Amino acid sequence: MKKFVRDFELIANKRINREYYLLVLKSPERLPEMLPGQFVEIRIDNSKDTFLRRPISLYDVDMDKQLVYLLIQEVGKGTRKLAGLKAGNSLNLIYPLGNSYSLPEEKAKVLLVGGGVGVAPFPLLAKFLKQNNVEPEFLLGFRNKELLVDLADFEKYGKVFLSTDDGSAGEAGTVMDHSVLKASSFPYVKVYTCGPQVMMKAVSKFAEELQLDCEASLENTMACGFGACLCCIQETVRGNLRVCKEGPVFNTKDLIW
């Protein structure tokens, strides 16, 4: 897929909660095809204490309106800088980067399990699944109800099961404690996961025990984001692969983690 570097105009910067915000960016031209699981590399301008770009997943894409949506958690210098941007500011992106999630072999129900800002790739993934006659449902975990995302962005595609560490919304505990995973029947043919590595590993193990296909979207420290530096490797059964190029989405049976 051809990659582009363009200046986007920030249309809106919406606070989602204390830590998360949503950037809505307008492309100067028709967007190329953008797949679920892919990401962009954002240049952080006027920022003395950052140097490299920051990788952020596609949360949603509106081809007609030429808009890209990014859900970002403030964790450090770069994401803090981006949080302060206002409508009208311009932002330089490299896109679309990385591979993408793949469809299940059987057109049936699938479960998308996400934790925290790891839910970011799911709206676009769910849209893509729906378009291909696959039924997504979600199991989303957050620390507490103050840190929820806008669930309507997910509910429009399928049922959302919720868990919070403190039980302030949905069931108490981690996603792994949720009744959906404890029930006697598991009506899904494939599991997709994104979030903290410990969660993804647990989800992957769960899927493996049921002999279900599982795809996980990994993070890594990236310098370039487009396959040139070999800084972002993940150990796999096919050797060290680049998370930014052969990933970020991996079938969990290929991972050595």
Partner 1 sequence: MVDLKVNIGKLMCKNPVSTASGCFGYGHEYDDFLDVNRLGAVFVKGTTGSNREGNPYPRMAETPSGMLNSVGLQNKGVDYFVNEIYPQIKDYQSHIIVNVSGSTIEEYVEVTEKLNVLDKIPAIELNISCPNVKEGGMVFGTHCPSAIHVTREVRKAWDKSLIVKLSPNVTSISEFAKAVEGEGADSISLINTLLGMAIDARTRKPVLATVTGGLSGPAIKPVALRMVWQAYHAVKIPIIGMGGIMNATDAIEFILAGATAIQIGTANFIDPAVSIKVLEGIEKYCDEQGVTNVNELVGALES
Ligand X SMILES: Cc1cc2nc3c(=O)[nH]c(=O)nc-3n(C[C@H](O)[C@H](O)[C@H](O)COP(=O)(O)OP(=O)(O)OC[C@H]3O[C@@H](n4cnc5c(N)ncnc54)[C@H](O)[C@@H]3O)c2cc1C
Ligand Y SMILES: Cc1cc2nc3c(=O)[nH]c(=O)nc-3n(C[C@H](O)[C@H](O)[C@H](O)COP(=O)(O)O)c2cc1C
Residues in touch with partner 1 (CB under 8 A): 2-5, 43, 49-53, 94, 220-235, 239-240
Choices 126-134, 161-169, 213-221, 233-241 (CB under 6 A): range interacting with ligand X: 213-221
- Does 154 contact ligand X by CB under 6 A? no
Q: How many residues bind ligand X (CB under 6 A)?
A: 21
- What distance in Å separates the CA atoms of residue 93 and residue 233, rounded to the nearest whole number? 22
- What distance in Å separates the CA atoms of residue 155 and residue 162, rounded to the nearest whole number? 11
Q: Which does 71 bind (CB under 5 to 8 A by kind): ligand Y, ligand X, ligand FES, none?
A: ligand X
- Does 50 contact ligand X by CB under 6 A? yes
Q: Residue holding tokens 């081809």?
A: 63
Which CB sits closer to ligand X, 115 or 171?
115
- What distance in Å separates the CA atoms of residue 226 and residue 244, rounded to the nearest whole number? 6
Q: Residue holding tokens 């769960």?
A: 206
Q: How far is the CB of 38 from ligand Y (least distance, A)?
A: 23
Token output for 76 = 């450090």
Please, which of residues 88-117 interact with ligand X by CB under 6 A? 117
Instruction: Pick left, alpha or beta for residue 46 (phi over 0 → left; psi -120 to 50 → alpha; otherwise beta).
Output: left
CB atoms near residue 34 (< 10 Å): 19
Q: Residue holding tokens 């279900």?
A: 212
Binds ligand X (CB under 6 A): choice among 26, 43, 77, 245: 77
Which amino acid, one-letter code, is at 221? T
Which CB sits closer to ligand X, 122 or 161?
122
- Does 221 contact ligand Y by CB under 6 A? no
- What distance in Å separates the CA atoms of residue 205 and residue 41, rounded to the nearest whole number? 31
Which CB sits closer to ligand FES, 215 or 246?
246
- Does 210 contact ligand Y by CB under 6 A? no
- What distance in Å separates the CA atoms of residue 63 and residue 68, rounded to the nearest whole number? 8
Which CB sits closer to partner 1, 24 or 224?
224
Q: Which does 4 bind (CB under 5 to 8 A by kind): ligand FES, ligand X, partner 1, none?
A: partner 1
- What distance in Å separates the CA atoms of residue 140 and residue 119, rounded to the nearest whole number? 7
- Does 222 contact ligand X by CB under 6 A? yes
Please, which of residues 216-245 interact with ligand FES by CB under 6 A? 222-225, 227-232, 242, 244
- Does 229 contact ligand Y by CB under 6 A? yes
Q: How far is CA 138 from CA 8, 159, 228, in A?
A: 31, 6, 35
| Contact yes or no for 215/125 (Cβ under 8 A) | no
Q: How many residues bind ligand Y (CB under 6 A)?
A: 2
Q: How far is the CB of 195 from ligand X (least distance, A)?
A: 11
Binding site for ligand Y (CB under 6 A): 229, 231
